[in-house]
Amino acid sequence: MYYDIRNGSIFLSMNQRENQPWRRDIIVGTIDGAWKMHLATSGSLTSEFHPLWFATDKEHNPIILNGSELTKNTSQLLSDCIPDILKVFQHPEQPLSLNVGSLDSFFLSQKKFPQL
């Protein structure tokens, strides 16, 4: 499944691979291409919150790789990069986890745009 949505000057896309139902790849950026970041979640299908196992900052530098934080301020960098529309899906006590069930529902409820 592949979903694209636009919210003002922000675009979000999510890809769920059929052969990897536990994985979500999320791309967030500006329509004008000024910045883009990649988030990927991985986790048990029975868990509502899935840990991020890959994330980049606005300059495309990895800040999480294979589930490991690469900098001491990863949570702050992630908070600075993620637009407000996605912040509501972060775990309140574990900011490196996303509520994938709610994220799926959010994408399904939005108007779908053709793949870019």
**Tens digit of pLDDT for each residue in 6-17?**
888 889 999 888
**Cβ contacts of residue 73 below 8 Å, gap of 6+?**
none
76-106 per-residue burial string, b: 16 or more CB within 10 A, e: under 16? ebbeebbeeebeebbeeeebbbbbbeebbeb
Tell whether the model's pLDDT for residue 105 goes beyond 50.
Answer: yes
Averaged over 58-75, what is the pLDDT? 89
pLDDT classification of 62: cutoffs 50, 70, 90: very high
Tell whether the model's pLDDT for residue 68 goes beyond 60.
Answer: yes
- Domains of the chain, by residue range, sit at 2-109
pLDDT of residue 82: 86
pLDDT classification of 70: cutoffs 50, 70, 90: very high
